[in-house]
Amino acid sequence: MNQILDKIIGTYTQDNRKRVIDILRDVKREYKSISKLDLTDEKYFKEKTLEFKKRIQKGSSKEKVMVEALALCIRAIELKLGMHPFNTQIEAAIAMQDNVVAEMKTGEGKTLVQILSGYLNALDGNGVHICTANDYLAERDFTENSPVFEFLGLSVGLVRSNSQPSKKRKAYSSDIVYSTVRNIAFDYLRDNIVKRSEDRIINRPFNYAVIDEVDNTLIDEASTPIILSPDEKSSEYVDVRSKDAYMEVTELLYTKLKGGLLLEPITPEQATATFKKNPQYDYFYCMWDKSIHINDEYLSNELLRDAIAARHFLKEGESYTLTYKKDKNGNNIIGENKLPLKKITIIDASTGRIAAGKKYTNGIQQAIEAKEAYLAKTNDQPYDVEFSNGLVALGICTYADFLQLYKSGVSGMTGTSSELLKDIYGLDTYQVPTRKSNVRIDNTKVYITEKEKYEAIVNQIEECYIIGRPVLIGTTSVKESKLISKMLEERNIVHNVLNAENEAYEAAIIENAGQFRSVTVSTNMAGRGTDIKLSDKARALGGLCVIGTTRNKSKRLDNQLRGRASRQGDPGTSTYYSSLEDERVVRFAGKMDFYKDVLKKQQEITEKRTGRKLEDTSIDTDAVDKAQEKDEFLTRTMIIETIKYNEALVKQRKIIYNFRNKILDSDNIVSLIGDILTEFISEISDKETFDDTFSKYCNVNELANKQEVFDSIMGRIDNTSKMNDYNKIMKKHMLKIVDDYWVAQIQLLEVGKKMWMYEAYGKKDPLEYYDLKAYKLFKDMEYGIYSEIISMAINPNQEYVDTNTDTFGR
Ligand code: ADP
Ligand code: MG
Q: How far apart are the CA of 473 and the centre of ligand 2, in A?
A: 20
Closest-lying ligand 1 atom to the alpha carbon of residue 85: 23
735's CB contacts (< 8 A; 6+ apart) are: 195, 660, 663, 664
* Average pLDDT, integer, range 468-482: 91
Closest residue by Cα to residue 525 from 557, 549, 556, 491: 557
SS3 207: coil
> Can you tell me the mean pLDDT for 593-618?
58
Q: Is there a contact between 252 and 309 (Cβ–Cβ < 8 Å)?
A: no
- How far apart, in whole angstroms, are the C-alpha atoms of residue 196 and residue 735? 10
**Distance (Å, rounded) from C-alpha 756 to C-alpha 266?**
16
For ligand 1, atom 25, the nearest C-alpha belongs to 83
Closest atom, ligand 1, to C-alpha of 83: 24
Whole-angstrom distance, CA of residue 100 vs CA of residue 431: 10
Over residues 363-372, the pLDDT tens digits come to: 888 999 999 9
pLDDT at site 11: 45
Rounded CA-CA distance 558/81 in Å is 33
- Distance (Å) of CA 620 to CA 288, 554, 587: 22, 18, 16
Taking the CA of residue 113 as reference, the ligand 1 atom at the shortest distance is 6
Nearest CA to ligand 1 atom 9: 109
pLDDT attached to residue 618:
44
Residue 94: band (very low, low, confident or very high) from pLDDT cuts 50, 70, 90: very high
Q: If you measure from the C-alpha of residue 571 to the centroid of ligand 1, how many angstroms do you get, rounded to a whole number?
A: 17
**Ligand 1 atom nearest 106 alpha carbon:** 4
Nearest atom, ligand 1, residue 533 CA: 14
What pLDDT score does 370 carry? 95
Q: Which residue has the higher pLDDT, 736 or 227?
A: 736
636 pLDDT more than 90: no
Measure Cα distances from 34 to 28, 72, 73, 89, 113 in Å. Answer: 10, 8, 11, 19, 20
Q: Which numbered ligand comes closest to the C-alpha of 569?
A: 1
Instruction: Flag whether pLDDT at 214 surpasses 90.
Output: yes
What is the Å distance from ligand 1's center to 613 Cα? Answer: 40
- In sequence order, the 6+-apart residues with CB closer than 8 A to the CB of 138 are 130, 131, 132, 158, 159, 160, 178, 179, 180, 183
Cα gap 31→73, rounded to integer Å: 9
C-alpha 5, offset from chain centre: 16
Q: How far is the CA of 213 from the centre of ligand 2 (A)?
A: 7
Q: Which residues line ligand 1 (CB under 6 A)?
A: 83-86, 89, 104, 106-112, 531
Question: What CA–CA distance (Å, rounded) separates 433 from 105?
Answer: 8
Amino acid (1-letter code) at residue 54 = K
| Mutation to probe ligand 1, out of 70, 79, 86, 111 (largest number of atoms < 8 A from CB) | 111
| Residue pLDDT, tens place only, 125-157 | 999 999 999 899 999 999 999 999 999 999 999
The per-residue pLDDT for 589 is: 45
CA of 107 to the centre of ligand 1 (A): 6
Residue range 470-492: mean pLDDT, rounded: 93
Euclidean distance between CA atoms 212 and 74, whole angstroms = 19
Which of residues 260 and 318 earns the better pLDDT score? Answer: 260
Nearest CA to ligand 1 atom 24: 83
Q: Quick: pLDDT tens for 149-205.
A: 999 999 999 999 999 999 999 999 999 999 999 999 999 999 999 999 999 999 999
Mean pLDDT of the chain: 86
Distance CA 369, CA 110 (A): 43
Centre of ligand 1 from the C-alpha of residue 118, in Å: 17
At position 51, the amino acid (one-letter code) is: E
- Tell me the CA–centroid distance for residue 568 and ligand 2, in Å: 13
pLDDT tens digits for range 29-74: 999 998 888 788 899 999 999 999 999 999 888 888 999 999 999 9
E strand spans, 243-401 = 259-262, 283-286, 291-294, 320-324, 341-347, 354-355, 384-385, 390-391, 395-397
Confidence grade of residue 807 (pLDDT, cut at 50, 70, 90)? very low
Distance 567 CA to ligand 1 centre (A): 10
Average the pLDDT over each of 86-90, 111-115, 520-524 and give the range with the smallest value. Answer: 520-524
Quickly count: other Cβ atoms within 10 Å of residue 287's Cβ: 17
Of the listed ligands, the closest to the CA of 107 is: 1
Per-residue pLDDT tens for 561-579?
Answer: 999 999 999 999 999 999 8
Yes or no: say if 739 and 661 are a contact pair by the CB < 8 Å rule: no
Which of the pair, 741 or 634, is modelled with greater confidence?
741
- Give the pLDDT of residue 796: 87
Query: Is it the case that residue 380 has pLDDT exceeding 60?
Result: yes
In a mutational test of the pocket of ligand 1, which residue from 79, 108, 131 has the highest number of ligand atoms less than 8 Å from its CB? 108
C-alpha–C-alpha distance, residues 688 and 700, integer Å: 11
Confidence class of residue 590 from pLDDT cuts 50, 70 and 90?
very low
Return the ligand number nearest the Cα of 531: 1
What distance lies between CA 518 and its chain's CA centroid?
Answer: 33
With pLDDT > 70 as the criterion, what percentage of the chain qualifies? Answer: 88
Ligand 1 atom at shortest distance from the alpha carbon of 108: 3
pLDDT for residue 7: 38
Question: What atom of ligand 1 comes closest to residue 84's alpha carbon?
Answer: 23
Which residue type sits at 726? Y
List Cβ neighbours of 780 (8 Å cut-off, separation of 6 or more). Answer: none
* CA–CA separation, 528 and 18 (whole Å): 33
pLDDT digits (tens, 9 = 90+) for 644-686: 889 999 999 999 999 999 999 999 999 999 999 999 998 888 8
